[in-house]
Amino acid sequence: MDDKSKISAARRAVLLIFLVCGIGLSSWAPMVPFAKIQLALNDADLGIVLLALGAGAILTMPVAGFLINKYGSRAIAFIAAMVIAAILPVLLLTTTSYQLAGALFVFGAGIGSIDVAMNAQAVLVQERFGRHIMSSFHGMFSVGGLIGAIGLGFLIKMGLSPNIAAITISALLVIITATQIRHLLPHSQEAKMDSSNFTIPKGPVLFLGIMCFIIFLAEGSLLDWSAVFLQFSRNFDPSWSGLGYAAFSIAMAVMRLTGDGLIHKLGPAKVVLYGTLLAGAGFLIAVITPWAATALIGFVLVGLGAANVVPVFFTAAGRIPGIPPSIALSAVTILGYSGQLAGPALIGVIAEFTSLAFALGLVGVLLFVVAFGYKHRD
């Protein structure tokens, strides 16, 4: 196989590893009600247990960055994918909240590790490919998110028990990973640098991490609060209140799958500027206008605008001089995930003292900060 064919095969493999991550993570979402009922958890207890997933991801990411720098992203991606596939059915077999929290911690560790590994591999493949293709990788993650959330529910609807449905999803993840892992670029092609002196993010890594924190905060805010906003502030029927996040997700997936050409045409800086301005405007349109239709339009604008910002930031993190991509990406990803994990809770606190519309509007203002902050930095 010539070099061009190897890079094409590597690109396809990275796309499918992103798909694996998206399917694995989103498959947990429809399992949550089953776990809640099975363990007789109230909302407060469930919320505490769910923190274990984020904690597992965040605590494992710096370790994954170190291991990737030492052993390569291909090896860590394979191990992480196998952990995700193995633990997914176990999430429905736990009999106590402590067991579920432990299983979610391991599950989160797998998600965090594969996230850093696949982005490190994506940066490497993109460099070999010669043009921006990062958005297509993240687009496949979004596609995987839709497949996982819908697919497991579909299998249960077809008559499979939740346990068997989860095992089926796990088998799919194993098959995809096993057939594609050998096509990822080997560790010999990755830049290896001494990472012993890297402790806390600083300089350009810290800057990109803070920018990612805000973008992930925006995504997490819609995940956790869009349905509440539509139901209680825009009088949506409860059965349709999830439409806001669905509209946002579809817009983001479509934009990411077509985003590479846009980045190539406009350049990364303009994509960040226009994208964050559009996303910020989307938040403000949703919360300022009183109509249900404009709230949905606002959420679509957030998806369209924010879609390609994180791929640009991850690409920039992988190109910081003197820092291994695995180390920079793990630091940036940790800060980003912190925004998605802790940010929505902060939104709830602000909403308690003001209003949910005001709190979500503040997220829109923060997106404007990203727009002009990155423009100034660039």
d(CA 119, CA 114): 8
Domain assignment of residue 194, yes or no: no
Domain assignment of residue 196, yes or no: no
Same domain, 120 and 78: yes
How confident is the model at residue 21, as a pLDDT? 94
Which residue in this structure is represented by tokens 């991606």? 77
Number of residues in the chain: 378
- In contact, 229 and 360? CB cutoff 8 Å: yes
Domain assignment of residue 306, yes or no: yes
> What digits encode the pLDDT tens for the residues 289-341?
999 999 999 999 999 999 999 999 999 988 888 888 878 888 898 888 888 77
Q: How far is CA 234 from CA 114, 218, 222, 296, in A?
A: 38, 20, 15, 10
- In contact, 335 and 140? CB cutoff 8 Å: no
How confident is the model at residue 195, as a pLDDT? 45
Domain assignment of residue 131, yes or no: yes
pTM above 0.85, yes or no: no
In total, how many domains does the chain have?
2
d(CA 308, CA 286): 21
Same domain, 289 and 141: no
How confident is the model at residue 166, as a pLDDT? 93
Same domain, 158 and 225: no
Same domain, 176 and 55: yes
d(CA 185, CA 178): 15
Same domain, 230 and 373: yes
The identity of residue 47, as a single letter, is: G
Same domain, 226 and 160: no
Domain assignment of residue 97, yes or no: yes
The encoded tokens of residue 371 equal 């727009």
Domain assignment of residue 218, yes or no: yes
Q: Which of 33, 6, 62 is nearest to 334 (CA)?
A: 62
Identify the CATH number of the domain in which residue 83 sits. 1.20.1250.20
Domain assignment of residue 195, yes or no: no
Domain assignment of residue 72, yes or no: yes
> What digits encode the pLDDT tens for the residues 49-77?
878 888 898 899 889 988 998 899 999 99
The encoded tokens of residue 354 equal 């003001």
Could you list the residue range(s) of the whole structural domain that residue 19 is in?
A: 3-183
Same domain, 132 and 265: no
The helix (run of H) or strand (run of E) holding residue 267 is none
Q: If 0-12 CB within 10 Å is exposed, 13-18 middle and 19+ buried, where does residue 160 land?
A: middle
Same domain, 117 and 217: no
Residue that terminates a domain, selected from 152, 183, 214: 183
- The ranges of the chain with pLDDT < 70 are 1-2, 43-44, 188-202, 239, 376-378
Same domain, 13 and 150: yes
Same domain, 219 and 368: yes
Same domain, 279 and 318: yes
d(CA 301, CA 286): 10
SS (H, E, C) 98-112: HHHHHHHHHHHHHHH
- How many CB atoms within 10 Å of residue 38? 15
What is the Cα 184 distance to its own chain's centre? 21
What is the Cα 48 distance to its own chain's centre? 21
Same domain, 175 and 320: no
How confident is the model at residue 70, as a pLDDT? 87
